[in-house]
Amino acid sequence: MDPRTTSFLLSLLLIIFFNSPFAASETFNVVSFGAKPDAKTDSSKAFQAAWARACTSSTSASIYVPNGRFYLRHATFNGPCRNDAIDIHIDGTLVAPSDFHVNANSPNWIIFHLVNGVSIFGGTLDGQGAGLWACKRSAKTCPRGATSLEFTDSKNIMISGLTSLNSQIFHIVVNECHNVKMEGLKVSASGNSPNTDGIHVELSSHVTILNSDISTGDDCISIGPGTSNLWIENVACGPGHGISIGSLGKALKEDGVQNVTVKSCRFMNTQNGVRIKSWGRPSSGFARNIRFQHLKMTNVKNPIIIDQNYCPYNKDCPGQASGIKVSDVTYQDIRGTAATRFAMTFDCSPKFPCVGIKLEDVKLSYKNGAAKALCSHVRGTVTGCQ
């Protein structure tokens, strides 16, 4: 064969290989970029340098965080990237500033923006939020706080085996994302820590949360406007405020929530079990096609609740009716114990009553007797409810 032909074919094969899914993945160790596992040296620039290399790689890439405690003041990981397969393997712990003033003007501690195909495996995030919690409990003027981890405007995301401790506010936020899977997560904060939602999802579709343990001072999982096709299964919640759809209806024009399934979850010593909550004022939003199935309640104050008269501090909403339309909500095979006499509350909008509410095989007790229900402006069928 002519040498020029041979050279051309070899070059062509190399081009095909390096642009194929079988091309070798590059691995970038954050220590090689200057990160120090001493819990005091700011490693933010080292982490972002490793990200820059992975993001500009023409093949799939991995970022490795070894054992140790790595202090990150703040980190933003921006896309889009040249490849759509970046794995981040964490054996160590990422530590936030203990001084909450450091990130006082930032809504996030760690954020991924406009990324595709990012997966996080293992590791611990230590948000060190106790100082901010104490400030808020003291009634002093305090910053709002930073979310520990957020993905925004992203798709094809995986978070597996991650532990999040003591976030200043929300632990994990999924915002304007598509196709996100979270599994094997452990989320923990004090039961009296304010606004420390475990996972918050909004304006996102096709999100799955599986096999996770969440204990916080607020909602274990909160579901905001614009969420669709959300699947939650085998989540243990407690302490905390339960799994909540809402608050909805804060804005006059708002995207709705639809196609949500919460299945095979356990609630222990929580304020709520499963809740739908909306502001008591006009809004174009809705919550529909919701399924709560095979749930176990243990000493839960409000195992089942729809509250459409949410009006904190009686500001901007007294005397108004919620515009959120709640429909086609099924409660199936929900059992356990309530911490109050009224285990079920359906306090729906007088202007737009809840419709299509179905209770099937719901058995909740209070002090060895059958718990009771409070119903207002609700329409549906009840079978097997005690």
Neighbours of 318 (CB within 10 A): 11
- Whole-angstrom CA distances from 362 to 145, 271, 273, 294 are 39, 19, 13, 9
Work out the burial of residue 94: count CB atoms within 10 Å of its CB; fewer than 13 is exposed, 13-18 middle, 19 or more buried.
Answer: buried
Closest C-alpha among 62, 70, 76 to residue 31: 70
Cα 109 from Cα 75, distance rounded (Å): 6
CATH of the domain at 335: 2.160.20.10
Is 342 inside any structural domain?
yes
Q: CA 292, 293, 298 angle in degrees (round to 5)? A: 90
Is 97 inside any structural domain?
no
Is 170 inside any structural domain?
no
- In this prediction, residue 48 carries a pLDDT of 98
Is 333 inside any structural domain?
yes
Is 294 inside any structural domain?
yes
Is 242 inside any structural domain?
yes
* 228 Cβ contact list (under 8 Å, min separation 6): 204, 205, 206, 257, 258, 259
Provide the annotated active-site residues. 241
In this prediction, what percent of the chain has a pLDDT beyond 90?
87
- Tally of structural domains, the chain: 1
Q: Which pLDDT band, with edges at 50, 70 and 90, does 13 fall under?
A: very low
In 3-state terms, what secondary structure has residue 286? strand
pLDDT per position as a tens digit, 315-371: 888 889 999 999 999 999 999 999 999 999 999 999 999 999 999 999 999 998 888
Residue 11, H or E segment:
helix 3-18
In 3-state terms, what secondary structure has residue 50? helix
Q: Which pLDDT band, with edges at 50, 70 and 90, does 139 fall under?
A: confident
Cα 99 from Cα 70, distance rounded (Å): 16
Which structural domain range is residue 346 located in?
219-385
Is 339 inside any structural domain?
yes
pLDDT at 7 over 90: no
Cα 241 from Cα 222, distance rounded (Å): 9
- In this prediction, residue 386 carries a pLDDT of 41
Is 118 inside any structural domain?
no
